[in-house]
Amino acid sequence: MRRPAFYSRSPRGTEDAAAPGLPDENESQVAALPSPKRRWQPGRWSFAAMLLVAVAIGAGGMLAWRPTQRQLTQKDIDAAVMHTLQTATLPSPAARAAEIIRPSVVRVVAYGTEKQTPEAKVEKHGRNYARGKPAEAPPPAADDAPGAPVERGVGTGVVIVDKGLILTNLHVIAGADSIKVTFFDGLEATATVTALQPENDLAVLQAQQLPDDLIPATMASTANLAPGEQVAAVGFPFGIGPSVSAGVVSGLGRSFRSPEGKQELSNLIQFDAAANPGNSGGPLINMDGEVLGIVTAILNPTQQRTFIGIGFAVPIENAAAALGSPPF
């Protein structure tokens, strides 16, 4: 059945108004009807609460759908390392080792009267060449006059104890009237001999003045040293340096007799890193910059005293014994 349309009651005109005091029949019916329920409308605070709920639901949904982070595997790490090795230029092992030992290496100069032996002349020629002087040097200056102190020997030393104890070769400072050492920072100091070990051609020096940040070398046992292992010789060949040459251990337990036949050394490390006059007393190091021995001699069948591929070093165990305290 079609429901009749419901229209709101139109206001009545004054002519239809009921008599004063008498209730209108329709009005009484309207008054009897129940009042309509009030519709809920969102207020300011309820709207804010709904907004917060919506934001919370949205954030929770995003977290729920967030993809999990991929875990790195050993394969990923290996690939990254390989990429770095292929694209980055790294210093060579010898360069890293030389940088470690450099603060501990010193130049040793022995002063005395001029020697006229062939060896002394070769060393003097090498020093003049390093200074840029011609092979035929001009007449000697006043400080090179006969009887005046001159450089009798130039060698190398290595700081073993931070109070200024230095290992070098005995033949570098033998017969010297005075000794001077030059540290890595350029500081030049007088040094005195505190101990000798002639059987191993070793001497211990004490510097009278030290740099503020003197770093002693680290020594390494040669018990497990084997032929073929990489080594480097650091020193001042012909006074030039500090210079670095790299090679390998060629042999162990070698013996060497000086060209004059005055002394024979035994239990030496044979190596093929280039060494020349001036390298004597310098450190032979491994690729960790640790001292394995003290360079002491080169083998050459001639009298030229130039390197032909065979050098010898005293093992550090013997060298440290000259200090009175073996390290191993």
User: Looking at the annotation, which residues are catalytic?
Assistant: 171, 201, 280
Query: How far is Cα 85 from Cα 61, in angstroms, rounded to an integer?
Result: 43
DSSP 257-326: E-TTSS-EEEEEEEE-S---TT-TTPEEE-TTS-EEEEEEEE--SSSS---SS-EEEEEHHHHHHTTT--
Query: How far is Cα 221 from Cα 82, in angstroms, rounded to an integer?
Result: 32
Which among 191, 121, 202 has a CA at the least distance from the CA of 163? 191
Distance set, CA 191 to CA 62, 83, 175 (Å): 76, 50, 14
Query: How far is Cα 246 from Cα 273, in angstroms, rounded to an integer?
Result: 5
Query: How far is Cα 59 from Cα 170, in angstroms, rounded to an integer?
Result: 81
**Local structure of 268: helix, strand or coil:** strand
Residues 6+ apart with CB under 8 A from 295: 156, 169, 233, 235, 275, 279, 280, 281, 282, 283, 284, 311, 312, 313
Query: How far is Cα 194 from Cα 173, in angstroms, rounded to an integer?
Result: 12
CB 105 within 8 A of CB 158: yes
**Cα within 13 Å of Cα(83), Cβ side:** 6
- Any idea how long the chain is? 328
Q: How many CB atoms lie within 10 A of CB 316?
A: 28
Phi, psi of 22 (to 5 degrees): -105, 120
